Structure 1
Amino acid sequence: MYLVLYPRVSTKKQAEKELSIPEQTREMRAYCAQHGHTEVKIYPEKGASARDDKRPVFRQMIEDLLSGAVKAQGILVYDRSRFFRNLFQAKYYEEKLKKKGIQVLSVTLPTENLDAPFANAFKNFQDTVNQLQSDMNGLYTLGGMKANARKGFFNGGTPPYGYRVQKFQDEKGNIKSKLEVCQEEEGVVQTIFSLYAQGRGAKKVAILLNEEGFRTRQGRKWTKDRVLAILSNSTYKGEYIFNRRDSKTGQEKPEKERIRVPVDPIVDEEIFDLAQEIRKQNAPEVTNPAVSSSPTLLTPLLKCPHCGSTMTLETAKSGRYRYYNCRNFLRGKSCPGLRIPMKMLDKEVPEHLTEKLFSLKRLALLIREFAKDMRGQAKRTKGQEVAIHLAIRDNERKLENIYSLIEQGRVSESNLDERIAQRRNKIRLLQTKLNQLREQRSFSLPPHVFSASFLEKFRSKLRKALYSDPCLAKTYLKFFLTKIVIHGRNVTLVGRKDILTRAIIANDQENLAAVPTAGGVWLPGLDSNQED
């Protein structure tokens, strides 16, 4: 029989011990000589796991055999675990090869002289044992890596942007790794969080970074998705998460299986949490399309007091009477429901919003609170400006020292290119941060926003938007309110003060007929979780 040989090792340890490729090859050739087989070609594969078919040499061998590029009647392996450690894929490829008249033979499990039922039974048993062994090895390995992570060590892979791997020997002489802050990338991460917290969206942040000449670790331009990946990574607040996703499926694992490894933070926890809040605020609302397109005014916001589900349209008397009722109740689920006349509630909510919640007194109070917060923010940033200015001077002095050494001929410029680039990059990042703080400190509200006429103008525009067009009214209610909750005969409107204040300050536009957005200029110093 004409055979191709497939020796494989997955680790360096295997290659150095009895399962080395030369040793497997020697055993397979001896097997061929003993049974009268002829070797056609050998496909040695190093450093590839048999848990799947993601093996370049293996795939080439299969392609050669199935296409007829290599003429052979079988594949010879030292052990069936060299072919696969996955029962399903072993059967899949064996059936595929069988249709072309190609067998899979093993030195340690010879089955040529057995009847087909017995041969298949032995193969299935061996493949099951191989997969079990592989699964157990994976379980033991993961357990060791979890223990390693609990001690604060890094288990390998690509470190997050802004960090690098520091290797050292532990007390037993074993080589261990830890994440440490990469100074060349640290400033870029801080700039991303700073810009985003000021109201620049992820796309705008990426544009600004690219305009300043900053690139990713791979030398590519920044994109919106790359910026969002930075903003969502808890490593930057000092918490690296190991075992977050399943390596096979990519799905997130339960919280109890994750290991939180403390690392040096790059940004304060407060600014990280603020970035997460802004992301939630700016993210498109994930809502059932039937709810979003519903003709009813309050459907996206009105919540059932019993189960918390959305309340939607219910009709009676052939549509003559219209009510809000719990979606779960209308679908026959376990909720007693609550029927509320739609006409009454659709009239009361906009009226309360414009006449009570958005009264001139309340709007003026919001503006004053915002101005007070801005003044406090300006005082806090002044000390930061001084510290950054000193850091810029320190880096400029170090850069001047490098140039002085080059002019004196004591060092070659080519030997210091990387250090010069690092210093320039650091100065540029610090200057960018300094400019941002100065811009933030210099921001002040124009006097006219405190006037009664200005605030009345805002109320007038809002009233017009809420009563002139039902679709526009629905959009604005979703913009200013997060939910409407019924408690007996009481109705609670839950909204966000920061979004309302932003809308008031933007009152210079001609009208409010455009669809509102939660983006735009971020108002620092205002608690984004305030509710009214």
Structure 2
Amino acid sequence: MKVALYIRVSTEEQAREGFSIPEQKDRLKAFCIAHGWHDYEFYIDDGYSAKDTNRPAFQRLMENIRNRRIQMVMTTKIDRLTRRLIDLLTFVEELDVYQCTYKSASETFDTGTAVGRMVLQLLGVFAEFERERIAERVRENMYHAAKQGKAVTTPCFGYDVVAGQYVVNEQEAKWVRKMAEMALNGHGTWNIAKMLNEHHVLTKRGREWTSKAVRIFLWDNEMLRGNLVWNQHTRKKGKTVERPSSEWLFVENTHEPILDSATYERLQAVLEQHQRAAPRSKHSDFLLSGIVFCGHCGSKMYGLNTAIKRARNREYRPPVKYLCSGYSKKGRCFHHYIHSSVLDEQVINEIISFGQCDLTVPVPTVVVQEQQLRGDITQAKRQLAFLDERFQRQIRAFEIGILDEQQLLDAKQRLAAEKTEVLQKIQALEKTLQTEISPEVVQKKIRERIAVLKEVVADDDRDRLKNIVRELVHQVTVYDGSQIEITFSV
């Protein structure tokens, strides 16, 4: 009879007595010798959690079971196999199919009998309960560590962890500043990735940069300006998903920033403009693709490459144009268009002319920072509601006897302190909203970006021009194929 001796140690358990690999090996080997089983083989997963069965040695074990090379599987304890009841039941069911049994060196049961299978399922329930309790304790410890500004997550590019704190890695930080500078000067994420790879700069995981990696790194990465966001993501069915913002823990000024707040805010505004463009618009040859709209029906006007025509024994291509999609795709408008070269030139000239005139006259503007600030205020108010809900749960726990009176008072005091922090944050955001989004600030930003646009036009760099236009212009509205209206974005 061939016996498979399965051993597993998770990272957290390696220092725990009774869980080390040598101890498990000695115990299982002694168990086999005592029962006269000499044909055995070890399957070892070192540093793998029991939260799922995605482990190399376990998968190799299952493959050998399916090929009928194994007649028995044995572990020191059931939780070495798995801590999820559904995984355990699936495992036992598959063992039955291939005439294989399971034994535990610590628990006295045998899956070859009905009673043994029942006991196994009961133990599986307790193993899963223990795993969830451990997860709760770990999350609670991480929550309190994060509130104190300690390093609880892997540092991003530009930082290292030293003595439990995030510390700037200057060799990486200089490239972070370069990335931000390029983005603010109109370079896209593809150009930034190309620059990094040409200088042999690798990501934190030792890989080459991609356009997507650059965008994910720069977008909404609060760590770059010295803040910590914890509990933002979770794993579900093997995928990383974002939690509701009300469950996030946001702690300000936990470490030295690489980018100051003003630079960080400008960077997010630039990335927001690029994000607004549809995927096809980003790679389109049309300068204004994705931001041109029909003034009559509100539909987008899309760039249309005209087909080659033949006349008088010669081929020619008519000028490319922007066409109203409301007419061409939905039949709800009338046929009108504008040549792309005409619109591009008209938009550039009008933007430059704005910079030469008195901007005390209000211009149509969408303020991205205002939208972000209002979003942050909404998120903070949701966090307040979440704290109230947490206190209600503490009261229910007191009512049913889980918490005593002193524990309830401690919880109340702790939550009151957290609410004070959130309220102060809301007040600061509202003050910023009132003072920094003034008409004077908006006009100054428009003038600065128009100055950059002039430089890019002079350099004849179309890719940068496309990015700068998207950073500066929220929407171009076209009427009757000739008149245009520009809505700025800052």
Normalising TM by the smaller chain, what interval? 0.5 to 0.7
Q: How far 1:120 sits from its partner (Å)? A: 2.6
Q: What is the match of residue 150 of structure 1?
A: 147
Q: What is the match of residue 130 of structure 1?
A: 127
Instruction: Indicate the structure (1 or 2) with the bigger Cα radius of gyration.
Output: 1
| Conserved? CA contact 1:8–1:45, under 8 Å | yes
Residue type at the aligned position of 1:276? Q
* 1:148 aligned counterpart, secondary structure: helix
Residue type at the aligned position of 2:212? D
Alignment of 1:92-491 (within 5 A): 92-112=90-110, 115-116=113-114, 118-157=115-154, 159-167=155-163, 177-212=164-199, 214-217=201-204, 221-232=208-219, 233-248=221-236, 249-261=239-251, 262-283=254-275, 285=277, 298-300=297-299, 364-368=353-357
| Conserved? CA contact 2:8–2:48, under 8 Å | yes
Task: After superposition, give the CA deviation of every residue in 1:248-297 in whole Å (9 maximum; x if it has no partner).
Answer: 431011223222343211112222222222222223545999xx9x9996
| Conserved? CA contact 1:32–1:38, under 8 Å | yes
* 1:143 aligned counterpart, secondary structure: helix
Partner Cα separation in structure 2 for residue 502 and residue 241 of structure 1 = 33
* 1:161 aligned counterpart, secondary structure: coil
| Conserved? CA contact 2:4–2:41, under 8 Å | yes
Residue type at the aligned position of 2:59? R
Change in 2 beyond 3 A, CA 1:241/1:3 = same
| Conserved? CA contact 2:8–2:45, under 8 Å | yes
Q: What is the match of residue 403 of structure 2?
A: none
Change in 2 beyond 3 A, CA 1:219/1:108 = closer
Partner Cα separation in structure 2 for residue 195 and residue 17 of structure 1 = 53
Q: How far 1:62 sits from its partner (Å)? A: 2.8
| Conserved? CA contact 2:456–2:464, under 8 Å | no
Q: TM-score, with normalisation over the residues of structure 2? A: 0.58
Change in 2 beyond 3 A, CA 1:34/1:277 = same
Partner Cα separation in structure 2 for residue 363 and residue 19 of structure 1 = 71
Q: How far 1:151 sits from its partner (Å)? A: 0.4
Q: How far 1:506 sits from its partner (Å)? A: 8.8
| Conserved? CA contact 1:50–1:84, under 8 Å | yes
Change in 2 beyond 3 A, CA 1:252/1:16 = closer
Q: How far 1:215 sits from its partner (Å)? A: 4.6
Change in 2 beyond 3 A, CA 1:297/1:57 = same
| Conserved? CA contact 1:2–1:73, under 8 Å | yes
Residue type at the aligned position of 1:253? R
Q: How far 1:97 sits from its partner (Å)? A: 3.0
Q: How far 1:26 sits from its partner (Å)? A: 4.6
Q: What is the match of residue 41 of structure 1?
A: 41
* Aligned residue-pair number: 350
Partner Cα separation in structure 2 for residue 22 and residue 274 of structure 1 = 55
| Conserved? CA contact 2:7–2:75, under 8 Å | yes
Q: How far 1:210 sits from its partner (Å)? A: 4.0
| Conserved? CA contact 1:281–1:518, under 8 Å | no
Partner Cα separation in structure 2 for residue 55 and residue 363 of structure 1 = 60
| Conserved? CA contact 1:9–1:15, under 8 Å | no
Q: How far 1:166 sits from its partner (Å)? A: 1.2
| Conserved? CA contact 2:6–2:43, under 8 Å | yes
Task: After superposition, give the CA deviation of every residue in 1:391-420 in whole Å (9 maximum; x if it has no partner).
Answer: xxxxxxxxxxxxxxxxxxxxxxxxxxxxxx
Task: After superposition, give the CA deviation of every residue in 1:120-150 in whole Å (9 maximum; x if it has no partner).
Answer: 3222221121112111211110111111111
Residue type at the aligned position of 2:93? E
Q: How far 1:72 sits from its partner (Å)? A: 3.3
Q: What is the match of residue 66 of structure 1?
A: 66
Task: After superposition, give the CA deviation of every residue in 1:312-335 in whole Å (9 maximum; x if it has no partner).
Answer: 979xxxxxxx86xxxxxxxxxxxx
Change in 2 beyond 3 A, CA 1:287/1:207 = closer
* 1:91 aligned counterpart, secondary structure: helix
Change in 2 beyond 3 A, CA 1:192/1:78 = same
Partner Cα separation in structure 2 for residue 288 and residue 508 of structure 1 = 27
Residue type at the aligned position of 2:50? A
Change in 2 beyond 3 A, CA 1:239/1:26 = same
| Conserved? CA contact 1:498–1:530, under 8 Å | no
Q: What is the match of residue 462 of structure 1?
A: none
Q: How far 1:75 sits from its partner (Å)? A: 0.5
Residue type at the aligned position of 1:6? Y
Out of 72, 87, 90, the residue aligned to residue 88 of structure 2 is 90
Task: After superposition, give the CA deviation of every residue in 1:336-392 in whole Å (9 maximum; x if it has no partner).
Answer: xxxxxx56xx99xxxxxx9xx99x99974443369xxxxxxxxxxxxxxxxxxxxxx
Partner Cα separation in structure 2 for residue 298 and residue 502 of structure 1 = 33
| Conserved? CA contact 1:198–1:523, under 8 Å | no
Change in 2 beyond 3 A, CA 1:183/1:120 = same
Partner Cα separation in structure 1 for residue 55 and residue 353 of structure 2 = 68
Q: How far 1:298 sits from its partner (Å)? A: 3.0
Q: How far 1:22 sits from its partner (Å)? A: 4.2
Q: What is the match of residue 468 of structure 2?
A: 522
Task: After superposition, give the CA deviation of every residue in 1:50-69 in whole Å (9 maximum; x if it has no partner).
Answer: 2222323323333334335x
Task: After superposition, give the CA deviation of every residue in 1:58-97 in whole Å (9 maximum; x if it has no partner).
Answer: 23333334335xx431111122111111122222233333
Change in 2 beyond 3 A, CA 1:503/1:152 = closer
Partner Cα separation in structure 1 for residue 295 and residue 358 of structure 2 = 35
Q: How far 1:222 sits from its partner (Å)? A: 3.6
Partner Cα separation in structure 2 for residue 203 and residue 288 of structure 1 = 15
Partner Cα separation in structure 1 for residue 93 and residue 242 of structure 2 = 34
Task: After superposition, give the CA deviation of every residue in 1:160-184 in whole Å (9 maximum; x if it has no partner).
Answer: 11111111xxxxxxxxx11011111
Change in 2 beyond 3 A, CA 1:273/1:120 = same
Residue type at the aligned position of 1:101? Q
